[in-house]
Structure 1
Amino acid sequence: MTGPLSGIRVADFSRVLAGPYATMILAELGADVVKVEHPEHGDDTRAWGPPYAGGEAAYYLAVNRGKRSVALDVKHPSGREIAQRLCADADVVIENFRPGVAERLGVGHESVRQANPGVVYCSIIGFPGGDRPGFDATIQAESGYMHITGEIPSKVGVAITDVLAGLNAAVAILGALHRRATRGEGERVEVSLIGSALSGLVNVAQSALVSGEEALAYGNAHPTVVPYQTFEAADGRFVVAAGNDRLFRALCAAIGREDLGADARFRTNAGRVRDRDALIAELAAVFLTRPVDEWIALLGAAGVPSGKIRGVLDAIRTADGATLQVRHPTAGPLELVRTGFTLESVPADRDIAPPPLLGQHTHELLTELGVTDDRIALLGRAGVIRQATHQAKRGPVEPA
């Protein structure tokens, strides 16, 4: 694959979401990501369905494109030796085992660094120190996300702490690769879900620190910007985000309530926050008089940010170029959501490998590592490795 990370190999021992999301980003940037999975069940998310496509769960398909899969039992001595060989040849190693597991498997940081001093080694954990496991739901509870979300404590509808951790891991790995390129030194990277979540609280966390007071839940409103929330229209709900005084005045003019913009109570954001209830009551009464689409058009013409509350599929179909298509070996044409960035040097229509079948590239990878065909066959009979045998579906891939 073309991209700024072309020539970089990533040995990926991670599974589920945070690690695979990070390595998918690296793959999008051109890295050769080798996904190491257990030969019997593979990544946990392969079975996290329905829905399924071609026998693979949508969860797995979401974050594993652009990678090669080697199905390898790292607990077996022969599998461990191959994993160590892979790590010795890698530029990046990433894992999210429970503390101590990587060391027991022979692929911990110290053993990998001794064989490969220039390696960038990344561990993703739930909580720093100790052996406490971390899953998104518990991290959202412990980090304050549930406390500030919804009218009652509510979980964000996607595993946001894993996504944040994956982004943090990708950024840290890129920085470490740059350091290695300029100074010739490897790096130890550690990313925690709880740290990523707390960092992601940004202004809410800082407001709590500055005020010394516990953050409050504002539902679909904003704690320090008004009006910045959902409103009921004649036929549904929509969002208005008047993020500064100029936009507030433009909002008032657009809805025919210039008097609100001139009201001394509402001239500044601080005043609007202080007298939030009075202002919102006035705006709510106006917004009930027209349907959502009319308000969106009217506010859009005035330059006031607003948005219809859409379902996920509606949002994907409405967005411009949000998806791409790949040809999956068992699912055939498969539509996937693009990452949120583009690079001018990397064509958007380039060929991207689909999420791999379990062990789809085992023989290929082992051959690259110098394992002979006879030994590969022996390892296969012993259950140490697995090579996928599915035949790829034929036919053209239509543009998304």
Structure 2
Amino acid sequence: MNEAVTLVEGAAERLSWLPDWGASLILLALGAAVAIAAHRLAFRMLTTFVAERSLFWRSLVSRTRGPTRLAVLIFVFSIVASAAPLTTGQADGIRHGLLVAFMILIGWAATTALHIWTVIYLRKFRLDSEDNLLARKHLTQMKIFERAGVTLLFVITIGAALMTFDGVRQYGVSLLASAGAAGLILGLAMQPVLANLVAGIQLAITQPIRLDDAIVVENEWGWVEEITATYVVVRLWDWRRLVLPLKYFIEKPFQNWTREGASIIGTVMLYVDHTAPVALMRAKLDELVRASPLWDGQVVNLQVSDAKEHVIEVRLLVSSSSSPRAWDLRCEMREKMIVWLAAEHPYALPRLRTDMGRQPAPDPRRHQEREERRAQPALRAAGA
């Protein structure tokens, strides 16, 4: 350190023919060039050294390129400032700037370390797995906590830097001491921000929603795409984005289709004639759903859920491993059941009883049964 100061003093003597401000400016520029060159060389050597080490050390080196460059610049400028021909005001200004830069360096390094730790922690969880409930839980928690931590570090860093200025420090002290009308107005103005910040912490702890959850909110269906410090972005089924404040999910009801798991039961409603062959429909549904790759092999059922004046209501229940697959399975079963009824049992489709025009062909089995019942008296008479 002393040798570096002596070297700068010697360089300042060689530039004594220039004005003090000119010599100081040249020394600062030379110091910045030396600092950047030294940092570049050291960074290459350090990158080569950690190339075969763990992911944490490789990430730490690659992510701290900016903070380490700033640290080297602060170190070199402090040496130049102590030996350059500066006036008292100029020296105080440079020292003040270096102090602010040092505070920014600490905040920057802390933010980078927090991000690296979050990324390393989340690498063990995979969102692309079939059962990603645990991964979405940890990902949501860490993303919210990381954003809250970054926000807190930013506020602390900026606040500490501003407090190095006398005017700002005195204003801050008087504001905290008075706790009067200005504090009340500031608190009222910050109420929405603070409410969303508290709601974000509640969401991270209780987790009524997680990233990639399938939800129904505001009569819209979609997936949770992003959770920030103040709002949630929901990607709707038609690629629109619905943006809601965080506190919405604390104060208002909504549907979460993947709260405990991704599997879900889909419902299909069919309206058919009272003469529809329910037993055959139940067997056909079982056949169709077992042939579909969208079915998860858990639930398949057909029930007559209501009988109305002109039709009966038939409810089909089929399950799938996720809500998008359940939607596709519902559409598939609805289409195939209607096609099968129209081809094999057209009399089962709903129609008005007063229609005297063209009628669907009757069921041949029912016709045969009626003929047999009509023939039974004659057969009994012949036997007697």
Same fold (TM over 0.5): no
Normalising by structure 2, we get a TM-score of 0.26
Q: Which has the higher helix share?
A: 2
Normalising by structure 1, we get a TM-score of 0.25
